[in-house]
């Protein structure tokens, strides 16, 4: 089964990564909470460091462990037990780091986050402050060996809908890891029903017709459906769509 642990507390923040003294913080956090408010464009931009320990999670045989960052502005380097594992560019997108092979009983996590002015990460100019920090949650995820593919930072479940008059033909596609060909993926849409698709080369696909589909109408009626995919291992992925 999949397990999710939120890494919200017990972080130490170092405005100077070389300093030996830091301050205790809880996520979400930004180092521009004060100096980024006055509109003078004189707020601090540079590299800062977040540090915390985490215990080795329980893993099923062949299972994997990921750190998931929902937002690190604007670039981030992730170091676990002294080994740099990942470099991410972009302050507004989720990314995951597979930490399975680095795990010990007690693990040191260091995240170097940089909101410096640069020529690679967009947007380059804007009428808002480029707040630096881990400003969205960080999670520790564990999944069984047969699971949905989390390596590309998606849920592993993809949904497209084509309107056919008042109805919607919904295509549900799942990307898996280590699933045998022929394994069944159960797709469900909350309040509508479920269909099944067989895995071939770690992908499964099925379609469902939603009669008289409830449309998403922006702020006036922001209606969303919820799709879920389930494997025999118990792993689940879900996504909202409209």
**Residue-level pLDDT at 1:** 87
pLDDT digits 0-9 by tens, 14-67: 999 999 999 999 999 999 999 999 877 889 999 999 999 999 999 999 999 999
DSSP state of 179: P
**Residue-level pLDDT at 38:** 83
**Residue-level pLDDT at 124:** 85
DSSP state of 180: P
pLDDT digits 0-9 by tens, 125-135: 888 999 999 99
Q: Which residue has the tokens 């642990």?
A: 5
Q: Which residue has the tokens 């499964």?
A: 204
Rounded distance, CA 93 to CA 72, Å? 8
108 within 8 A of 51, measured Cβ to Cβ? yes
pLDDT digits 0-9 by tens, 55-103: 999 999 999 999 999 999 999 999 999 999 999 999 999 999 999 999 9
pLDDT digits 0-9 by tens, 199-238: 999 999 999 999 999 999 999 999 999 999 999 999 999 9
pLDDT digits 0-9 by tens, 151-183: 988 999 999 999 999 999 999 999 999 999 999
Phi/psi of residue 55, each to 5°?
-80, 155
94 within 8 A of 68, measured Cβ to Cβ? yes
**Residue-level pLDDT at 227:** 98
6 within 8 A of 53, measured Cβ to Cβ? no
- Model pTM? 0.92
Rounded distance, CA 205 to CA 239, Å? 15
Rounded distance, CA 75 to CA 45, Å? 12
Q: Please provide the DSSP assignment of 45-77 as one string.
A: -SEEEEEEEEEPPP--TT-EEEEEES--BSEEE
pLDDT digits 0-9 by tens, 134-155: 999 999 999 999 999 999 889 9
């Amino acid at each position: 089964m999949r397990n999710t642990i939120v890494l919200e507390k017990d972080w130490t923040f170092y405005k100077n990564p070389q300093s030996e003294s830091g301050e205790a913080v809880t996520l979400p956090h930004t180092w521009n909470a004060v100096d980024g408010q006055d509109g003078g464009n004189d707020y601090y931009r540079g590299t800062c460091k977040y540090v915390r320990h985490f215990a080795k999670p329980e893993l099923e045989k062949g299972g994997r462990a990921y750190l998931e960052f929902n937002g690190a502005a604007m670039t981030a380097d992730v170091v676990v037990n002294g080994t740099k594992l990942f470099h991410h560019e972009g302050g507004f997108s989720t990314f995951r780091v597979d930490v399975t092979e680095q795990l010990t009983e007690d693990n040191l996590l260091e995240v170097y986050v940089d909101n410096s002015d640069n020529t690679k990460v967009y947007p380059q100019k804007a009428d808002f402050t480029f707040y630096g920090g881990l400003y969205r949650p960080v999670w520790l995820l564990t999944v069984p060996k047969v699971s949905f593919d989390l390596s590309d930072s998606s849920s592993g479940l993809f949904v497209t809908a084509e309107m056919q008059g008042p109805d919607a033909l919904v295509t549900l596609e799942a990307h898996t890891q280590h699933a045998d060909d022929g394994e069944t993926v159960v797709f469900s849409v909350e309040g509508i029903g479920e269909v099944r698709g067989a895995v071939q080369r770690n992908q499964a696909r099925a379609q469902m017709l939603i009669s008289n589909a409830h449309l998403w109408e922006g702020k006036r009626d922001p209606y969303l459906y919820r799709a879920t995919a389930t494997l025999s291992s118990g792993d689940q992925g879900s996504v909202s769509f409209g």
